[in-house]
């Protein structure tokens, strides 16, 4: 498959953009995210070489972290954007379902899939804001749920993680890759207007462990997988693997 990717207009590197959840404190980040990324040109997110390389490394790390089987493994790519992470995993999976709240991103994802001649029953994206209920996604449960470069946009990673855990089969794995919080606590990221997207400035293992624990997932691994440069600053990225009990 072709190897393309995207970034969003703030300049941060992303592999998948962006789903979110609304919360009771008065700001609907899901609606703001959806409007922002629907208005943006989804196609332009699909060919940035810096993000191509970042997401290639992230998908490779995911392949090492889970025993993918091309004849058995079913995958949800959450906050899939136009599908770079999905395309990196596709040769190793039986079925991939991309999920994003941006219709423009989903259209770009499915256009790429169609152009590659891949049948939709093997790889397809849907536009949805998941809540973690039985009627969503036709009741599908997955061996693996992946989410790359979107956690730092979520207002509540605990809420999102609970939703993603719902869609895992017993024994399934959640693989999250995102910005690693600097050990000195000093972020290299410039402030992003929070009325557009919630923006956490990276995570450490304790943050992810707390979210995984609350969702009934065991944090099996948490480690740095790669780095990328932005505005001359090096940003580290982690991969976390959470396993759902049998």
Is the residue at 199 inside a domain?
yes
Is the residue at 1 inside a domain?
no
Residue 211 domain boundaries? 6-244
Is the residue at 223 inside a domain?
yes
Q: CA 121, 125, 129, 135: dihedral to nearest 10 degrees?
A: -10
Is the residue at 210 inside a domain?
yes
16-20, 157-161, 226-230: lowest mean pLDDT where?
Answer: 16-20
How many residues make up the chain in this entry? Answer: 246
Is the residue at 47 inside a domain?
yes
Is the residue at 231 inside a domain?
yes
Q: What is the average pLDDT across 153-176?
A: 96
- Find the helix or strand (DSSP H, E) in which 220 lies: strand 217-230
Q: What is the average pLDDT across 219-231?
A: 92
The whole-number pLDDT of residue 31 equals: 56
The whole-number pLDDT of residue 181 equals: 92
Question: How many distinct structural domains can be found in the chain?
Answer: 1
Here the CATH number for the domain that contains residue 205 is 3.40.50.150
**CA distance between the termini of the chain:** 34
- Find the helix or strand (DSSP H, E) in which 57 lies: helix 49-65
Distance CA 115, CA 44 (A): 17
Taking only the tens place, the pLDDT of each residue in 120-144 is: 999 999 999 999 999 999 999 999 9
Is the residue at 148 inside a domain?
yes
The whole-number pLDDT of residue 32 equals: 53
pTM for the whole structure: 0.82
Return phi, psi of residue 178, to 5°.
-160, -170
Q: What is the average pLDDT across 30-43?
A: 53
Is the residue at 147 inside a domain?
yes
């Amino acid at each position: 498959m072709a190897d393309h990717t995207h970034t969003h207009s703030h300049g941060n590197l992303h592999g998948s953009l962006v789903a979110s959840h609304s919360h009771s404190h008065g700001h609907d980040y899901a609606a703001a995210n959806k409007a922002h990324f629907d208005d943006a040109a989804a196609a332009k997110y699909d060919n940035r070489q810096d993000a191509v390389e970042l997401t290639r490394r992230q998908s490779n790390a995911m392949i090492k972290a889970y025993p993918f089987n091309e004849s058995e493994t079913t995958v949800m790519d959450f906050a899939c954007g136009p599908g770079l992470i999905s395309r990196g995993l596709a040769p190793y999976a039986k079925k991939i379902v991309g999920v994003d709240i941006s219709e423009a991103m989903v259209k770009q994802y499915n256009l790429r899939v169609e152009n590659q001649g891949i049948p939709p029953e093997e790889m397809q994206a849907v536009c949805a804001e998941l809540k973690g209920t039985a009627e969503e996604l036709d009741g599908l449960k997955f061996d693996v749920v992946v989410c790359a470069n979107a956690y730092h946009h979520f207002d509540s990673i605990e809420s999102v993680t609970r939703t993603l855990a719902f869609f895992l089969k017993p024994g399934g794995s959640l693989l999250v890759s995102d910005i690693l919080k600097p050990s000195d606590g000093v972020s290299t990221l410039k402030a992003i207007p929070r009325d557009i997207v919630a923006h956490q400035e990276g995570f450490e293992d304790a943050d992810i462990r707390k979210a995984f624990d609350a969702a009934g997932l065991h944090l099996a691994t948490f480690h740095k997988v790669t780095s990328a440069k932005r505005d001359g600053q090096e940003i580290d990225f982690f991969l976390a693997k959470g396993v759902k009990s049998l």
